[in-house]
Amino acid sequence: MSVLLQTRALTRHFDGLRAVHEVDFALPEGEVHALIGPNGAGKTTFVSMLCGRIAPTSGRVEFLGRDVTQLPAHKRIALGMAYTFQITSVFARLTARENVALAARRHIRGGHGPVMAAVHKALSQVGLDDRAAQIAGDLSYGHQRLLEIAMGLAQRPRLLILDEPTQGLADSEIAGFKALIRTLAADTTILLIEHNMDVVMQTADRITVLNFGEVLAQGTPSEIRANPAVQAAYLGSGADA
Amino acid sequence: MFFAAGMYGLGLAMRHLGLAPAPAFLAGLAAGAGLSLIVGVLALRTAGVAFMIVTLMFAQAVYLATLLFGEWTRGDEGFTVAQASRQLWGIDLSDPTARYFAALALFALALLGCLALVRRPFGRVLIAIRENEERARLLGYDTFAHKLGAVVLSGTVSAAAGAAYGLLFGYVGATFATVQYSIFPLLWVLLGGAGTVIGPFLGTLFMFYLIDLSSGLTSAYMLIAGVVLVLLTLFARAGIAGELRKRLWRWLP
């Protein structure tokens, strides 16, 4: 497996606060990788630097073997990244269908038909196909989260970055989400920020733990579960996850 | 400013270069497109209210420039476009009937163009940028290029209006570059409903008749217009078309 994404000494300071400090990270193609850590550990800042939302203070990001540190967000997206927001950020006054169509049109040429086919595929993957005509802002919070994921899927990215996708979802929707991740893993590399340990342990191939902006540990789910430093920092003693 | 650019693009081309109306009209469009490209590239480094102020300052600069080059532009005084040359495809545009239909045709063209635009992918992206620019950027859209495209497009439409005015009424002057001609369209849009296609037209119509009727009653007609504006912004923030869309017809463009 080749390395899809790599960071070297990636750092971001906010006025003296070290949000992310010299993170070296490599993500092989085809992996489902979970990024976990306590609140404020720098997870969202880290992935925001990957997709170009935030510029790093220092360090570099490589995607598909080229240095993309200086590229603006839209060019990185064009290379095959997709990012779904932690705080739901759908276009609230447009329909669900149009939201996904905006995501799909970027890479699908050839008019209305193929775009709509991709839209319906993405919506049915998250189970929202019967709500395509609704205004996104009228959907329930959980459905907006699913719509956000569908927008990521419709871009057919090489790398899908999901920022706390299951936050606010019902248990049945989380089960569906886990199944979805497993089907996607066949042709997409996934970087998942997640607080729900069930989801992490059942879907991730490998896990990276961030704490105070630095990598605390990295390994398979069972290694992470057994790691005493992680237990102390994050899972708490006697973790049952 | 773009209205004046179109007007002067046409007027100067006819006066100093002796062009026929049709190529001069194109010169007016080109002047508007060129100016909006320059202003857009510079002003789009800002956003929101700052963008508005910067463009207004550019408008003021353009107005002062027309005064500075008064030798060619004739400044405040302006100049007329000779009646004999105001002919297009054999139609005399100084004739009131022909003038009305020419203006109507141009308006219809702009309105239909606008309607088509918001249905095209480019227009959809513009709507997405209005709703949430960062999200649009992270869907892979170059939002700067799209916004610049929108500025150039609207600048060119304004220039078409300016060039048409010069041709239809035969007058070209710096008064049309003054700041009130930048603020009035803004009011029309706010009144009619920002973010709608039909809104600016309704706003213009409303404002025109409001001033027309109230000036028949009192000499303080601008006071009435001002009060109505305040009421509308307080109680109908989405504008006329925006409120209609919210309450009656959701499909309203």
pLDDT digit string, tens, across residues B153-165? 989 998 998 888 8
Give B21-44 pLDDT, tens digit per residue. Answer: 778 888 888 888 899 999 888 888
- Across the interface, whether the CB atoms of A91 and B128 are under 8 A apart is answered yes
- Across the interface, whether the CB atoms of B121 and A73 are under 8 A apart is answered no
Residue numbers of A between 132 and 151 with CB closer than 8 Å to B: 151
Separation between Cα atoms, residue A134 and residue A94, nearest integer Å: 8
The structure tokens listed for A36 are: 């976990």
On chain A, the residues whose CB falls within 8 A of the CB of B135 are 85, 89-91
Residue A44: pLDDT band by 50, 70, 90 thresholds?
confident
- Across the interface, whether the CB atoms of A92 and B125 are under 8 A apart is answered no
In degrees and rounded to multiples of 5, residue B196 shows phi and psi of -125, 160
Residue from B132, B134, B138, B245 to probe the interface with A (highest A Cβ count within 10 Å): B138
Computed over every residue of chain B, the mean pLDDT equals 81
Q: Identify which of B178, B200, B176 has the alpha carbon closest to the alpha carbon of residue B187.
A: B200
Res. B189: pLDDT tops 70: yes
Res. A138: pLDDT tops 70: yes
Residue A237: pLDDT band by 50, 70, 90 thresholds?
very low
Give A141-174 pLDDT, tens digit per residue. Answer: 888 888 888 888 888 888 899 888 888 788 888 8
- Across the interface, whether the CB atoms of A85 and B135 are under 8 A apart is answered yes
The verdict on A235 touching B (C-beta cutoff 8 Å) is no
Residue from B126, B132, B139 to probe the interface with A (highest A Cβ count within 10 Å): B139
CA distances to A31, A60, A189, B115, B123 from A5, rounded to whole Å, are 11, 11, 10, 43, 34
Return the residue of B nearest to A112 by Cα.
B121
Computed over every residue of chain A, the mean pLDDT equals 83
Angstroms from B127 CA to nearest CA on chain A: 9
The verdict on B122 touching A (C-beta cutoff 8 Å) is no
**For residue B201, what pLDDT is reported?**
85
State the average pLDDT over residues B90-103: 78
Stretch among A204-218, B83-97, B180-194 having the lowest mean pLDDT: B83-97
State the average pLDDT over residues B92-97: 76
Res. A241: pLDDT tops 60: no
Separation between Cα atoms, residue B139 and residue B135, nearest integer Å: 6
DSSP letters for chain B: -HHHHHHHHHHHHHHHS---HHHHHHHHHHHHHHHHHHHHHHHTTS-THHHHHHHHHHHHHHHHHHHHTHHHH-TTT-EEPPGGG-EETTEETTSHHHHHHHHHHHHHHHHHHHHHHHHSHHHHHHHHHHH-HHHHHTTT--HHHHHHHHHHHHHHHHHHHHHHHHHHH-EE-GGGGSTHHHHHHHHHHHHH-TT-SSHHHHHHHHHHHHHHHHHHH-S-HHHHHHHHHHHHHHH-TTHHHHHHHHHT-TT--
Give B199-237 pLDDT, tens digit per residue. Answer: 788 888 888 887 788 777 777 777 877 888 788 778 777
- CB contacts < 8 Å between A and B, how many? 53
CB A201 within 8 A of CB A36: no
User: Could you tell me what percent of chain A has a pLDDT over 70?
Assistant: 95
Res. A175: pLDDT tops 70: yes
Angstroms from A238 CA to nearest CA on chain B: 40
Res. B83: pLDDT tops 70: no
Residue A5: pLDDT band by 50, 70, 90 thresholds?
confident
Separation between Cα atoms, residue A153 and residue A188, nearest integer Å: 10
The verdict on B196 touching A (C-beta cutoff 8 Å) is no
CB B206 within 8 A of CB B191: yes
Angstroms from B146 CA to nearest CA on chain A: 12
Q: How many residues does chain B have?
A: 253
List, as own/partner pairs, every contact residues B98-106 make where C-beta atoms lie below 8 angstroms and the sequence separation is at least 24, other chains included: B99/B168, B99/B169, B102/B164, B102/B168, B103/B164, B103/B168, B106/B160, B106/B161, B106/B164
Residue A239: pLDDT band by 50, 70, 90 thresholds?
very low
Provide the CB-side half-sphere exposure for B97 (13 A, CA): 1
The SS3 of residue A21 is strand
Residue B84: pLDDT band by 50, 70, 90 thresholds?
low
- Across the interface, whether the CB atoms of A83 and B138 are under 8 A apart is answered yes
**For residue A97, what pLDDT is reported?**
84
State the average pLDDT over residues B52-63: 86
State the average pLDDT over residues A92-110: 81
On chain B, the residues whose CB falls within 8 A of the CB of A151 are 139
Separation between Cα atoms, residue A162 and residue B140, nearest integer Å: 16
The verdict on A71 touching B (C-beta cutoff 8 Å) is no
Return the residue of B nearest to A115 by Cα.
B121
- Across the interface, whether the CB atoms of B143 and A74 are under 8 A apart is answered yes
Angstroms from A130 CA to nearest CA on chain B: 21
User: Could you tell me what percent of chain B has a pLDDT over 90?
Assistant: 2
Residue from A75, A105, A147 to probe the interface with B (highest B Cβ count within 10 Å): A105
Within 10 angstroms of residue A30's Cβ, the number of other Cβ atoms is: 15
- Across the interface, whether the CB atoms of B132 and A89 are under 8 A apart is answered yes
Separation between Cα atoms, residue B101 and residue B109, nearest integer Å: 12
**For residue B90, what pLDDT is reported?**
67
Where residue A42 falls (left for φ over 0; alpha for ψ -120 to 50; beta otherwise) is: left
The verdict on B111 touching A (C-beta cutoff 8 Å) is no
Res. B86: pLDDT tops 80: no
The verdict on B212 touching A (C-beta cutoff 8 Å) is no
Instruction: Quote ipTM for the complex.
Output: 0.76
Separation between Cα atoms, residue B115 and residue B9, nearest integer Å: 27
The SS3 of residue A82 is strand
On chain B, the residues whose CB falls within 8 A of the CB of A105 are 121, 124-125
* Beta-strand runs (E) in chain A: 3-14, 17-28, 32-36, 58-63, 66-67, 81-84, 159-163, 189-193, 206-211, 214-219
The verdict on B250 touching A (C-beta cutoff 8 Å) is no
**For residue B156, what pLDDT is reported?**
92
More confident residue, B238 or B67: B67
CB A87 within 8 A of CB B131: no
- Across the interface, whether the CB atoms of A73 and B137 are under 8 A apart is answered yes
Angstroms from A2 CA to nearest CA on chain B: 24
Helices (H) and strands (E) in chain A, counts: 9, 10
For residues A115, A120, A121, A126, the Cα torsion angle rounded to the nearest 10 degrees is 130
Return the residue of B nearest to A135 by Cα.
B250
**For residue B231, what pLDDT is reported?**
83
CB A146 within 8 A of CB A127: yes
